[in-house]
Amino acid sequence: MTLAQERAATRAGITAARTNTLRRDLNSLETQRRQIRELVTLERKGLRPATKGRGTWDPNKPTFGGGGGGVDSPLTEPVDESGVPLREYHPSMTITSSDGLFTMELEPIKKLTMVDHSGRSIDFIYADPEPAPEPEP
């Protein structure tokens, strides 16, 4: 046996020993053995014949009032005789820019009323915004 063959045999032996040890060490880290389960077989698409649905729909029955009908788009905002939107506002507040050069008075919207396509009224009610604290001079 030549020196090269001897080294190759040694390398093969060490590799086999390390592989065995590595596999054993990795398996020892598992606290609970994996359970091998069988996959559920799914029925093929199109094998089941068509069936009649179970739900019944009555077009004369209204869907709102607990029926889960939801909002009927589009939403529109109604206006009064003069063309002004019907809105309610929080008390006006003055906002000052961060550099103090500009001030602006505005009325935050309190309640916005919209009407859906079915004629039902939907109210959007907004919280009263807290004004930012006045900067100290």
Q: How much is the pLDDT for 38? A: 86
Rounded CA separation 98/102 (Å): 8
Contact 113, 87 (CB under 8 A): yes
Is residue 51's pLDDT more than 70? yes
Contact 127, 112 (CB under 8 A): no
Is residue 129's pLDDT more than 80? yes
Q: How much is the pLDDT for 134? A: 66
Label residue 133 by pLDDT band (50, 70, 90): low
Spatial CA neighbour of 65 closest among 4, 120, 136, 108: 120
pLDDT digits (tens, 9 = 90+) for 69-107: 678 888 999 988 888 888 999 998 888 899 989 999 989
What residues are paired with 79 via a beta bridge? 85
